[in-house]
Amino acid sequence: MSDIFVSYKAEDRRRVQPLVDALQSDGLSVWWDAHIGGGDEWRDTIQEQLDGAKCVIVIWSKRSIGPGGHFVRDEASRAQRRNVYLPVLLDRVEPPLGFGETQALKLSGWKGGPADPRYRAVLDAARATIAGTPRPHRGQEAPEGTTRRTLLAGGAVATVALAAGGWYLLKPGSAGASNSIAVLPFANLSGDPAQAYFSDGIAEELRSSLARIAGLKVVARTSSEAVRNDDVKMAAGKLGVPNILTGSVRRSPSMIRISAQLIDGHDGIERWSQVYDRAPGDALQIQGDIAARVAEALSIQLGRTDRSAMAEGGTRDPSAQDLLLKARDIISHNDTGVGLQRALGTIDSAISLDPRYADAFSAKASLLGTLGSQESGSAAESQAYLRSAENVARHAIKLAPRSAAAHGALAKIYMRTLRTGPALKEFAVMASLPGGGPNGGFNNVDEYAFALSNAGLSDAALDRSRQMIAQDPLNPFAYVTMAVSLEGMNRFKEADDVTLKAISLAPELTWPRAFHGYYLMLLGDLNGSAAVFARLPPNGVLAAWQIVLEQRRGHPAEARRLLGQMKGTYGDAAHYQYAEIYAQMGQRDQSIAALEEAWVARDPGLSKILRDPLLDPVRSDPRFKAIVARIGFP
């Protein structure tokens, strides 16, 4: 006889499978009716197993407590009489009358992870029941991985909606459009934490594919991952969507199992589910099938254009895709120069396997652009990286002309090389293509919104940042993007209010706090600004803001001392910041000279010259206007 008998409603079989798998992985023998053979007298077999099991786990769900759940109630009654009854809630329901005296353990929202406290509570209770010892009395803790940041995020989204006044967020109800969906991170059931990149990557690939379907709104990665440990209804409420796609991945050298469920966020009922047991190389086909099945379940008719868009830029080589997923995972955990170089090598390996993998070339172009603008030791090295990035982006477009990622990569390189007009045209092409909406993935800010703001197109920038918040409501950088758009309109108080919302979502991040200190300075709260800056790690932009702050506080000698220190640290890599400082010190000629040097070095900081309030003291100078003209704003 088995240690455990699992009683459940047959329609919940796919949802119960992860529990059976996990219990068996932990060394327990489990019997459920999937074991019934074709020739068995099934009623006799069930009764024999039920009466012989040392523990009977009864799964209470919306289905099993309903009119069709009489077999489950009968099995639960027999288990109660033998004192081996262990109730588990798969949904947010109450056990039927007569079955609620024993405390039920909550498993709603669990995705199969063996370390999740919800599962550990069930495992511990099952072992105690089998041993005939008292079950452990413990409240079910917050799911593993829940941090102060996650908890803050949950409350902060409601705060944002209430405090914002509604003018820059979604209109009431718009987030709940019937064809909006969030893809939660897929659980890694492979037994190897190093495989998490693959399960997370599968979920991100599905987001990308679904986002290319006309009429379907998809929540971006950052917000989807912020509710990783929430149950479906809670996640749907925080994200403002009626549909949740969730699942799990188990991968071994000989097999891959991907389980996917589309769940109604209002009542937690499955709308579609499927378990795929395939060879490891079939992951790409599985992803395509899941996307198509989800669209079908949402009553979206996929046309030829949609199917073509879903495949644009992709690969047919699963090993190449696996390498790109690894590269993205590297970047998400290590955005230092060392990490970026390691990711670059991994992307090159993917390209060597599939020289026509446009998504890999797009990722490489963006990565080279980042290295050129943030990690170069000299202007010559920076320009070399950016030239290479442009060539790679153009090649990606040649391979996949309708790839939003490829056009976006080229647009960002144009911005970094101060070609604002071409950048805006390329961004507009990106936005017109499937999947070209505001991004909240590995590039946390929406650079199109920044480009619009830098060009003085403030209303368009604000609209774009609103779209980003709608798509990625729990991403703090979505609010930073909006703050920068408001800053470009000289609406500093509103910009600071939005920045505070970003801080409430992620109080540990540096840049939202840095912008908060900057806006306090612009609003005249100099002591408040100083207190914020004092708690931040140093960098070139922040160093410039601190020098300007000391100048405004009436400490010119301290400002000059800090400027000398900054030059010793950053040398000729911060001409644009020197121009800001000199302008604030009233040294017009030095400010213009620094801007000229910034132009020679093609300092990316010049892209914001039109809207930078720190340059206001030199804005009327004809030499300043000549520099602006060279940049070629539309």
Name the more confident of 255 and 323. Answer: 323
pLDDT of 388-403, one tens digit each?
999 999 999 999 999 9
pLDDT at 387: 93
- Mean pLDDT: which of 17-21, 92-96, 322-326 is highest? 322-326
Q: What angle do CA 153, 484, 461 make, to 5 degrees?
A: 105
pLDDT at position 177 is 54
Concatenate the DSSP letters of all residues of 78-146 into one string: HHHHTT-EEEEESSS-PPPTTS-SSPPEE-TT--S-TT-HHHHHHHHHHHHHHHTSPPP--PPPSPTT-
Give me the pLDDT at residue 394, please. Answer: 97
Q: What is the mean pLDDT of residues 161-180?
A: 42
Give pLDDT tens digits for 570-594: 887 789 999 999 999 999 999 999 9
161-173 burial by CB neighbour count: b if 16+ within 10 A, else e?
beebeeebbbeee
Check pLDDT > 80 for residue 529.
yes
Residues 366, 371, 372, 374, Cα dihedral to 10°: 110
Angle, CA of 183, 187 and 192, to the nearest 5°: 145
CA separation for the pair 466, 483 (Å, rounded):
11
Nearest residue to 313 via CA among 342, 284, 279, 344: 284
Give me the mean pLDDT over the 139-154 stretch: 36
Distance of alpha carbon 217 from alpha carbon 220, whole angstroms: 9
Instruction: Return the higher-pLDDT residue of 407 and 148.
Output: 407
pLDDT band of 411, cuts 50, 70, 90: very high
Report the DSSP pairing between strands 85-89 and 217-218: unpaired
Question: Residue 413: exposed, middle, or buried by beta-carbon count in 10 A (0-12, 13-18, 19+)?
Answer: buried
Task: Check residue 607 and report its DSSP letter.
Answer: G
Closest residue by Cα to residue 245 from 335, 183, 203: 183
Tell me how far apart the alpha carbons of residues 361 and 393 are, in angstroms, rounded to a whole number: 7
Q: How far apart are CA 324 and CA 347, in angstroms?
A: 6
- C-alpha 51/C-alpha 82 separation (Å) is 8
What integer best gives the mean pLDDT of the chain? 85
* Chain-centre distance for alpha carbon 192: 22
Model confidence at 145: pLDDT above 60 = no
> pLDDT tens digit string along 257-274?
888 889 988 888 888 888
pLDDT in tens, 416-462: 888 988 999 999 999 988 888 875 444 567 889 999 999 999 999 99
Of the listed ranges 200-204, 330-334, 346-350, 456-460, the least confidently predicted one is 330-334
- Whole-number pLDDT of residue 172: 31
pLDDT for res 576 = 93
Supply the pLDDT for residue 214.
81
Higher per-residue pLDDT: 294 or 583? 583
pLDDT in tens, 336-357: 778 889 999 999 999 999 999 9
Amino acid at 489: M
- Residue 312: pLDDT band with limits 50, 70, 90: confident
- DSSP codes, 25-60: HTT--EE-GGG--TTS-HHHHHHHHHHH-SEEEEEE
Could you tell me what percent of the chain has a pLDDT over 90?
A: 45
pLDDT of 173 reads: 36
